[in-house]
Amino acid sequence: MRAWGRLSPRCDHSASTLRRGSKWLLGSRIRTRCGASSLPCGAGRTSTVTAPEVRSSPDATGHFGPYGGRFVPETLVHALDQLAAEYARARSDPAFASDLEQALRDFAGRPSPLVFAPQFSKAAHTRVFLKREDLLHTGAHKINNTIGQCLLARRMGKPRVIAETGAGQHGVATAAAAARCGLTCTIYMGVEDARRQHLNVQRMQLLGAEVREVESGSRTLKDAINEALRDWVTRVDDTHYVLGSVLGPHPFPTLVRDFQRVIGVEARAQFAGTVGGLADVLVACVGGGSNAIGLFHAFLDEPSVRKVGVEAGGLGIASGRHASRTAEPTVGVLHGTRTLVLQDERGMIRETHSVSAGLDYPALGPEHAWLRDQGMVEYTHATDAEALDAFEALSRLEGILPALETAHALAWVLREGKTLGRERNVVVGLSGRGDKDVEEVLRVRGAGRS
């Protein structure tokens, strides 16, 4: 089996072939068992965005240790090279920094507040603070990345953007950012996810995007990415792919991380300004991992701060119906990057399951895989049932509807709070709001109680 296009110098394994109708994007035959376990935003409504400081940066070929790189067809090499070069120029361009700062402030609504959750803290037996990304325009952290990438697309002279979406939040954020930047927009979404997130489908359409529902495969996020990549291959000259997480070929994992890093930079300054010092624990849900790396990255040089990423445990690891890559860690290639992937003994990508559409994905962002190996971040999981309980707990105790994705992080806090203790300060990345999940929660809860 030949490689998926030209490989970066340190990528010497085969991915899949690029043919419509084949499983060219569904993973590689690699199966390696992995045994290793300046933006000061305080209470005021101001935000200063500078070129992101680099920590745990990849090497020149986009590798975080053995992970990352670029497994792509030849037709995408030029587009990725162009993107990497343009991003490097933009990072040192004061005009781009000014445009980004203004858009994040006036369009997205940054900074997002960091708030203490007193009633939830009592229930969890520990002190819980929420980084309220749910209060941003479009309702989630996704807007941080889509604004940056749409500004880059306009800078590159590309009038059209495409994106994948699972929970719909990235699709909505891309549609909104595209409208603001005067770009046309097409969103790919699995049929199953569109069913679960019908409200977000309507929001995307109202924002001017064309929504293409994907019938192939498991009809979820993985398959939406497949179709978006197929689209991009055929229209690289006029189209930019706004990848939604710290996934895919270099430079996407770094680029998306840098646009999301504002979350942690703000949280660090806000906590220091209101409580003093550093939080004891940071907790965030992890699908691809953009929300989590956005929160963690500003603290990677602080070993005293415990960092916990919570994956989708689905119906339990033993059931095989989950989306926890670190519970059964094997290395493979998916969607242009080498990382931890859920796959079977033949190296074929396994179907995943989660009550949360945004966590229902079989690969972990390559930087997260590297951070796990280094012992810098802990990765664990919460089940569907635990997430649903946490969803209801925050809603009833604090009057905040969290996204089902975020509910996985909240579930970990409820589970581990007594062990942490009442004097510990825990910051949870509240990645998005749960309005989109209300119908699904009621459906699942109703089915479980009938």
Residues 6+ apart with CB under 8 A from 112: 131, 132, 133, 135, 136, 263, 266
Catalytic option among 56, 121, 133, 142: 142
Residue whose token pair is 């909505």: 172
Whether 101 is a known active-site residue: answer no
Catalytic option among 164, 227, 386, 440: 164
**Which phi and psi angles does 74 have, rounded to 5°?**
-55, -35
Catalytic option among 28, 218, 431, 440: 431
Q: Helix 142-155 to helix 252-260 angle, to the nearest 10 degrees?
A: 120
| Residue 213: its H or E element | strand 210-214
Tokens describing residue 116: 């203490």
Whether 418 is a known active-site residue: answer no
Whether 164 is a known active-site residue: answer yes
Q: Helix 169-181 to helix 198-206 angle, to the nearest 10 degrees?
A: 0
Tokens describing residue 196: 């679960």
Give the distance from CA 182 to its chain's centroid.
25
Q: Helix 404-420 to helix 384-398 angle, to the nearest 10 degrees?
A: 80
Helix, strand, coil share of the chain (percent; to 5): 45, 20, 40
Rounded Cα–Cα distance for residues 298 and 303 (Å) = 12
Q: Helix 384-398 to helix 438-449 angle, to the nearest 10 degrees?
A: 120
Give the distance from CA 4 to its chain's centroid.
24
Check if the beta carbon of residue 165 is closer than 8 Å to that of residue 146: no
Planar angle of CA 393, 399, 402, nearest 5 degrees: 60
Strand partners, 433: 402
**Residues taking part in catalysis:** 142, 164, 431
